[in-house]
């Protein structure tokens, strides 16, 4: 009898600890206090916003299951391969670059890509029938309202620093007087229209007379660009950015449809708040 009593106390204690850790329950699925605090740290948001983000994610997961949406390993591989190719890397070098920059293993990266592809399929299924392409008036109005965002530098005058040793390159960035024979340099002028969108964004975000972050060079080594000069901005004509504008408008419409859909889903869902993050 004594042994049974102890077992019962132990089980009740465990149950209490589990309940203490649960903050929100959605259709029987728990969001814990730890989940909320982790989301606050990762996304740099308040407890309320973190809770909203996690509720949205839970609703998406449940909706994916209900709609029986799936992603194959082949689809994950194709997506990773395309991303690696866009960055001028082999898949193995891409895995290495991700591991070095974020600490994610190839297995963890594949899991994240799978989650993203599942969400994309869900969004397409929800929004597809509700979206119509913008007409010419919508396109022209969007261009006039956002004209400044379609201006970009004509070119970047840079010094390219390359090394197989990431630590040496970091040392060069922190101390420009540092010299190492392992670091190779090459002055270049990079026309905006001749470089990848990813590189263009990196260079645009980097202040004049400073280094970009160290990034993989696609050949097993690392590189950083020192921005010497940025040529004057060029305004894009509407025809040259028409497809981009259509994509932006469609993206805005899709977000509106999805926001409305999940707001209704949340309103009708069985959501219980047990306790809030203190």
Residue 165 located in a structural domain: yes
How many whole angstroms separate alpha carbon 202 and alpha carbon 187?
A: 17
163: CATH: 3.10.50.40
Residue 195 located in a structural domain: yes
Q: Are 215 and 223 in contact (CB under 8 A)?
A: yes
Domain count across the chain: 1
Residue range(s) defining the domain that contains residue 215: 155-231
Q: Which of 229, 198, 228 is nearest to 215 (CA)?
A: 198
Q: Is the pLDDT of residue 201 over 60?
A: yes
Q: Which of the pair, 173 or 100, is modelled with greater confidence?
A: 173
User: Could you give the dihedral angle defined by the CA atoms of residues 199, 110, 56 and 244, in that order, rounded to the nearest 10 degrees?
Assistant: 30
Per-residue pLDDT reduced to its tens digit, 14-68: 443 444 588 899 888 899 999 999 899 888 899 999 999 999 999 999 999 999 9
C-alpha distances in angstroms, 172 versus 12, 18, 206, 221? 59, 50, 16, 15
Coil/strand/helix, residue 183: coil
pLDDT at 11: 43
If you average pLDDT over every residue of the chain, what do you get? 86
Q: Has this prediction a pTM greater than 0.85? A: no
Q: Alpha helix locations (H) across the chain?
A: 2-21, 33-43, 47-66, 73-86, 91-102, 106-127, 136-145, 166-174, 197-205, 242-268
218: left (phi over 0), alpha (psi -120 to 50) or beta: left
Q: What single DSSP character describes residue 129?
A: G
Per-residue pLDDT reduced to its tens digit, 162-182: 999 989 999 999 998 888 889
Q: Is the pLDDT of residue 244 over 90?
A: no
Q: Is 164 exposed, middle or buried (0-12, 13-18, 19+ CB in 10 A)?
A: middle
Tokens 């913008």 belong to which residue?
134
Tell me how crowded residue 158 is: count the other CB atoms within 10 A of its CB: 22
pLDDT at 20: 52
Which residues lie closer than 8 Å to 225 by C-beta, 6 or more apart? 156, 158, 159, 160, 161, 202, 203, 206, 211, 212
> In the sheet where 155-163 sits, what is the strand order?
184-191, 155-163, 222-230, 215-216
Residue 190 located in a structural domain: yes
Residue 185 located in a structural domain: yes
Q: What single DSSP character describes residue 232?
A: P
Residue 179 located in a structural domain: yes
Residue 182 located in a structural domain: yes
Partner residues linked to 190 by β-bridges: 156
Residue 1 located in a structural domain: no
Residue 5 located in a structural domain: no
Per-residue pLDDT reduced to its tens digit, 129-145: 677 889 999 999 999 89
pLDDT band for 235, please (50, 70, 90 cuts): low
Structure tokens at 131: 């979206």
Q: Are 257 and 130 in contact (CB under 8 A)?
A: yes
Partner residues linked to 186 by β-bridges: 160
């Amino acid at each position: 009898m004594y042994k049974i009593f102890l077992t019962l106390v132990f089980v009740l204690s465990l149950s209490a600890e589990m309940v203490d850790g649960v903050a929100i329950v959605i259709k029987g699925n728990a969001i814990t206090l730890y989940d909320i605090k982790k989301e606050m740290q990762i996304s740099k948001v308040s407890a309320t916003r973190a809770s909203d983000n996690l509720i949205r994610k839970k609703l998406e997961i449940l909706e994916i299951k209900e709609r029986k949406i799936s992603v194959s390993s082949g689809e994950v591989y194709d997506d990773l391969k395309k991303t690696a190719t866009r960055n001028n890397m082999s898949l193995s070098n891409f895995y290495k670059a991700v591991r070095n920059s974020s600490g994610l293993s190839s297995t963890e990266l594949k899991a994240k890509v799978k989650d993203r592809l599942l969400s994309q399929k869900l969004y397409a299924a929800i929004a597809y029938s509700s979206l119509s392409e913008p007409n010419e008036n919508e396109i022209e109005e969007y261009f006039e309202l956002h004209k400044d965002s379609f201006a970009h530098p004509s070119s970047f005058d840079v010094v390219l620093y390359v090394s197989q040793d990431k630590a040496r390159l970091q040392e060069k960035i922190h101390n420009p007087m540092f010299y190492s024979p392992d670091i190779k340099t090459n002055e270049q002028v990079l026309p905006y229209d001749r470089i990848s969108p990813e590189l263009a964004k990196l260079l645009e975000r980097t202040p004049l007379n400073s280094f970009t972050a160290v990034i993989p060079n696609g050949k097993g080594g690392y590189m950083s660009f020192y921005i010497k000069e940025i040529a004057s901005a060029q305004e894009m004509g509407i025809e040259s950015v028409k497809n981009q504008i259509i994509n932006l408008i469609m993206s805005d419409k899709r977000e509106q449809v999805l926001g409305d859909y999940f707001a209704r889903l949340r309103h009708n869902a069985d959501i219980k708040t047990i306790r809030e993050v203190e």
